[in-house]
A = this chain, B = another copy of it.
Amino acid sequence: MIKIGIAGYGNLGRGVECAIKNTPDMELIAVFTRRDPASVQILTKDIPVVSSDLSIQWKDKIDVMILCGGSATDLPTATPAFVEMFNVVDSFDNHAKIPAHFSNVDAAAKKHAHLALIAAGWDPGLFSVNRLYGNVFLPGGKDYTFWGKGVSQGHSDAIRRIDGVKNAKQYTIPVQSALHSVRSGSDPELTTDQKHTRECFVVLEKGANASAIKHQIKTMPNYFADYNTTVHFISEEEFSKNHTGMAHGGFVIRSGRTGVNKEHSHIIEYNLKLDSNPEFTASVLVAYARAVYRMANEGIHGCKTVLDVPPSYLSEKSGDELRATLL
């Protein structure tokens, strides 16, 4: 049994806890929190909730710590700190800052002879693996990544900061005609705004000026001004009923050509349709925790990403079983 710790208990941490219940080769040892442990109710009976400050006491009791904090403020410091004590997996998702995070985590992990796997999840994560596969199997081709339909947290927050807005959710939606044109192999040049539209569901404060707020959203630079944006004003009841889900998904498509005169066109498509973004991300983290456990047992230290992990390390099955059943 692989002994797992969870550090951080929000949607993602709960997702990891659920996933471990369905994973016969893993057991949850403890949940670590920066809140008062007494205030944290978890799903699994008889598993301790421990203050993060006491993590060091669990150093030899946990094989892999799954870090479930956020990328903006938690993980940049938490991952290098935890990897001093444990092998770790995180879902750091700020693409631009991955090289810096990698370098910090790699130094700490090597110093303490631990293994870290960062940026696991679906993007970065499975989408990254598929972008890489697309690039190597169709060199000289073109990459397309579409996101959605799903909630963009950053865009939802931007709307909520507007005066007079009580609550808001923004969905990023792939443009079907753009998807069709990519799938046809016509290799279109597409800007992000040609690939996605933005749909906003907004609950107003009493007495707020709807038309002024709609204008403010649609013209907001960086976030909405360059997009085809739709704004719906809805009641709080409707918001609670229809807009608290965490569905998401997306598409990675590679198009490329082969042949003496590049006369043959090929399309590779990978797509995800997810009812729960955090629970699926959690499933990915748990599978990569298994790989980290194995690689660490082989003496591999430092920082790795999903691009460095042989697929077979993710499975509890033996090589013989995998070759006989899945290959």
Contact = CB atoms under 8 A, between A and B. Distances in A.
A18 B307 CA distance: 27
B269 A271 contact: yes
A287 B258 CA distance: 14
Interface string A306-327: 1111111011000110111011
A282 B258 CA distance: 10
A80 B263 CA distance: 35
Given A258-B282, A258-B283, A266-B274, A322 B310 contact: no
Contacts of A140: 22
Name the residue in A95, A102, A312 with the highest tally of chain B Cβ atoms < 10 Å from its Cβ: A312
A298 to B, nearest CB: 12
A90 to B, nearest CB: 13
A269 B270 contact: yes
Contact of A99 (B263, B305, B312, B324): B324
Interface in A54-105: 95, 98-99, 102
A260 B314 contact: no
Contacts of A194: none
Copies in the complex: 2
A102 B324 CA distance: 10
B18 A260 contact: yes
Interface string A102-142: 10000000000000000100001010111111011111100
A259 B326 CA distance: 26
A158 interface: no
Contacts of A129: 133, 311
A326 B307 contact: yes
Contacts of A260: 18, 43
A130 B287 CA distance: 14
A40 interface: no
A94 to B, nearest CB: 11
Contacts of A275: 258, 263-266
Nearest to A270: B270
A25 B193 CA distance: 36
A19 interface: yes
24 contacts: A18-B259, A18-B260, A22-B139, A22-B140, A95-B327, A119-B327, A126-B137, A135-B326, A138-B283, A139-B283, A258-B276, A258-B283, A259-B276, A264-B275, A264-B276, A265-B275, A269-B269, A306-B311, A307-B319, A307-B326, A308-B310, A308-B311, A308-B312, A309-B310
